[in-house]
Structure 1
Amino acid sequence: MNILRFYIGKTILLTSLMTLFALAAIRILFTLIDEMNDLGKGNYDFTDGLVYSLMLAPQYIYDFFPMAVLIGSIAGLGLLASKSELTVMRAVGKTTGQIVGAALSYGLILIAIAIFIGEYVAPKSSQAAESLRNRAIHGDSFIKSGKGIWLKDANQMIHLEEIIGEQQLKGINIYTLNGEQAISQITEAKSANLVEGAWELFDGKESFVSKEQITSQPFDKKIWDTEISLEHISVLKLKPENFNAYSLYEYSNYLESNGQDSTSYDLAFWRKIFQPLSTAVMILLAASFIFGPMRSVSMGARVLVGVVTGLIYFFVVRAFGPVSLVFGLPSFFGALLPPLLFAGLAWYLLRKAG
């Protein structure tokens, strides 16, 4: 059985990885085409767009993993079925459960690859890609560091500790420079909200610096005269999917402790937790198709069904999470239900196939 397990596992691994890279390559191509609209903004050129698109490849690979495993497993098992190798395996006494178990055991390798990419490679490459794009378009007006974000607006240097949503900032420090490029004023605020197109600073103080003295005065609320817009903040804020599970967990707890909405980060966290389950379910679903309704169809038909089913799963996962939040369901339920539904379908088809 060890030889058969290796043979089945190797076939599924190869077809799944080939499918994965093909899907990622298509997504990279579409990203590059989309980036053509921004060529010429600032110093952003074709090379920057190409590098940006390639740096997003790990994130695309992670996003497409369940779909690629489904299509690859259908293709791999279908290849064995088309050569009657699955029939021979069953003829020598191997049950459907043993064959599916062999496929799932090598699926653990795919799951390990997905976890590594999702936790260590994709978050860093995505953040680096966004940083490269922002700096090429906006120049040095935007600098992201591990301790917040630096922005430059006319004669002001601004440091932001956190961006919460797209209309709220936390920990604002504004350094105003005079004609001699020396600090003439320092404005500190605990938070800022975007209200009717203008930023309002809350709970802070202003310090005026001169050669003779520094004078300070507190304020409860103050309008911030700046050219920084909602668009600028939007390009600085990364999507929750661009963080690893630990960062999502930490940031979600931070938002909750400060009375902020953390649902989008909770949902992204639970999606990452259940991603390995999704991969296993896709292998199970592929096996249920091969031993069930697609036992005697052509390879082209099998791949087509795999693509359609994979797309359905991809969009169900993307849509069901936000919909579940609208109806007040827990985030983990919104992330767990899609793989459970497809696992139930796979189990039903396998039982029906005997």
Structure 2
Amino acid sequence: MNILRFYIGKTILASSIMTLVVLAVIRVLFSLIDESSDFGKGSYQFIDGISYALLLAPKYIYEFFPMAILIGSIAGLGILASRSELTVMRAAGKTTGQIVGAALSYGMILIAVAILLGEYVAPKTTQMAEDIRNRAIYGDRLLKSTQGLWVKDGQNMVHISEVIGASKLKDVSIYQFNEQQQLKQLTQAASAELTDSGWTLINGQQSVISSQQIVQSLFDAKQWPTSINLDHLSVLKLEPETLNIRSLYEYRNYLHNNGLDTQAYDLAFWRKIIQPISIAVMIVLAASFIFGPMRSVSMGARVLVGVLTGMMYFFAIRTFGPVSLVFGLPAFFGALLPPLLFAFAAWYMLKKAG
């Protein structure tokens, strides 16, 4: 059985890796095309776009993992079926469950690779990609550090500690200089919020500096005329998809403790937790297709069904989560429902196939 397990696993691994490479290459090319509209902004050129797209490849591979494993497993098991090797295995006394178990045992290797990508590789390379892009486009106007973001805003220098959500900033300091580059005013606010009328500073202090004195005043809310926009702030914003499980958990708790919306980070957290389950479900689903309705069809038809089913799963993952949040359902439910539905379909087809 060990030799048989190795043979089945090797076939599925080879097909799955090939599928992952193809999907990643296609996605990288589309990413490069998307970036072409920004070529020429600042010093952002074609070579920077290539670096940006390639560094995003681990993120794309991680996102495509379940879909690629489904297509690769259908192709791999389909190769064995087309050579009648699966029939010979069953004639030799191997049950469908044993064959599926052999496929799953080597699927654990793929699951381990997915975890490494999602937890260690993709977050780092994605951050590197964003740094390259932002440095080329904005140059000296933006400087990101471990303490936050510095933005040049006309004669002002603005420091922002953190971007929370799409329209809230934490700990904003505005340094206003005169034409001699001397500090003439310092405004500090606990937060800033984007409204229909622009940015509003909340709970702050303003210090007007002259050669004779410093005049300080407090304010509860104050309009902030600025050229800073959401594109600038995206440099600092922590996108849920770019964080690993530990960072998602810690940041989610931080938002919760400050009374802020945590839904997007809850959903991303549970998606990452459930990703290994999704990969296992895709392997079982592939086996259910091969032993069930696709037992005697051509390889082309198998791959086509794999691609279509994989796309269905890919879009289901991205649809069920947000929809569940709209209806007030737990993020865990939105992340778990797609693999549960596909697992049920796999179980039904395997049971029907006997």
Name the TM-score, length of structure 2 as normaliser.
0.96
The equivalences for 1:8-27 within 5 A come to 8-27=8-27
In the alignment, what sits opposite 1:183? 183
In the alignment, what sits opposite 1:86? 86
The equivalences for 1:212-291 within 5 A come to 213-234=213-234, 236-291=236-291
1:113-153 deviation digits (Å, cap 9, x = unpaired): 00100111111111221221122112222222222222111
Q: Which amino acid aligns with 2:166?
A: E
Q: Which amino acid aligns with 1:344?
A: F
Gaps of 5+ in 2: none
> In structure 2, what is the Cα distance between the partners aligned to 1:298 and 1:52?
39
> In structure 1, what is the Cα distance between the partners aligned to 2:161 and 2:279?
37
Aligned pairs, how many? Answer: 354
C-alpha change, 1:350 and 1:64, in structure 2 (3 Å) is same
> In structure 1, what is the Cα distance between the partners aligned to 2:196 and 2:338?
39
Gaps of 5+ in 1: none
> In structure 1, what is the Cα distance between the partners aligned to 2:337 and 2:94?
32
* SS of match in other structure, 2:43: coil
| Aligned residues of 2:114 and 2:276 also touching (Cα < 8 A) | yes
The range that moved more, 50-59 or 229-238, is: 229-238
* SS of match in other structure, 2:228: coil
Q: Where has structure 1 moved over 4 Å in runs of 4 or more?
A: 210-213
> In structure 1, what is the Cα distance between the partners aligned to 2:160 and 2:245?
24
| Aligned residues of 1:127 and 1:238 also touching (Cα < 8 A) | no
1:177-217 deviation digits (Å, cap 9, x = unpaired): 23333433221100111122421101111123345554422
| Aligned residues of 1:158 and 1:175 also touching (Cα < 8 A) | yes
In the alignment, what sits opposite 1:330? 330
Q: Which amino acid aligns with 1:125?
A: T
* SS of match in other structure, 1:128: helix
* SS of match in other structure, 2:226: coil
Percent of aligned positions that are identical: 67
The range that moved more, 67-76 or 181-190, is: 181-190
> In structure 1, what is the Cα distance between the partners aligned to 2:212 and 2:108?
69
Deviation at 1:162, TM superposition (A): 1.3
> In structure 1, what is the Cα distance between the partners aligned to 2:212 and 2:13?
72
* SS of match in other structure, 1:64: helix
| Aligned residues of 2:148 and 2:236 also touching (Cα < 8 A) | no
In the alignment, what sits opposite 1:111? 111
1:227-247 deviation digits (Å, cap 9, x = unpaired): 112343345435311111111
Name the TM-score, length of structure 1 as normaliser.
0.96
> In structure 2, what is the Cα distance between the partners aligned to 1:220 and 1:193?
13
The range that moved more, 192-201 or 285-294, is: 192-201
Deviation at 1:62, TM superposition (A): 0.4
> In structure 1, what is the Cα distance between the partners aligned to 2:113 and 2:209?
55
The equivalences for 1:21-100 within 5 A come to 21-100=21-100
C-alpha change, 1:46 and 1:197, in structure 2 (3 Å) is farther
Q: Which amino acid aligns with 1:80?
A: L
RMSD: 1.4
* SS of match in other structure, 2:328: coil
| Aligned residues of 1:141 and 1:151 also touching (Cα < 8 A) | yes
* SS of match in other structure, 2:208: strand
| Aligned residues of 2:58 and 2:121 also touching (Cα < 8 A) | yes
> In structure 2, what is the Cα distance between the partners aligned to 1:32 and 1:90?
47
Deviation at 1:321, TM superposition (A): 0.5
| Aligned residues of 1:153 and 1:228 also touching (Cα < 8 A) | yes
Q: Which amino acid aligns with 2:265?
A: Y
- Asked if 1:127 corresponds to 2:127, the answer is yes
> In structure 1, what is the Cα distance between the partners aligned to 2:21 and 2:255?
36
The equivalences for 1:312-323 within 5 A come to 312-323=312-323
| Aligned residues of 2:171 and 2:189 also touching (Cα < 8 A) | yes
Q: Which amino acid aligns with 1:311?
A: M
Deviation at 1:324, TM superposition (A): 0.6
C-alpha change, 1:259 and 1:238, in structure 2 (3 Å) is closer
> In structure 2, what is the Cα distance between the partners aligned to 1:244 and 1:211?
50
Q: Which amino acid aligns with 1:40?
A: G
In the alignment, what sits opposite 2:296? 296
* SS of match in other structure, 2:149: strand
| Aligned residues of 2:162 and 2:236 also touching (Cα < 8 A) | no
* SS of match in other structure, 1:228: coil
> In structure 2, what is the Cα distance between the partners aligned to 1:99 and 1:147?
53
In the alignment, what sits opposite 1:102? 102
In the alignment, what sits opposite 2:5? 5
> In structure 2, what is the Cα distance between the partners aligned to 1:115 and 1:141?
36
> In structure 2, what is the Cα distance between the partners aligned to 1:141 and 1:236?
14
> In structure 1, what is the Cα distance between the partners aligned to 2:341 and 2:115?
22
Q: Which amino acid aligns with 2:352?
A: K
| Aligned residues of 2:162 and 2:237 also touching (Cα < 8 A) | no
Q: Which amino acid aligns with 2:59?
A: Q
1:151-172 deviation digits (Å, cap 9, x = unpaired): 1112222111111122111111
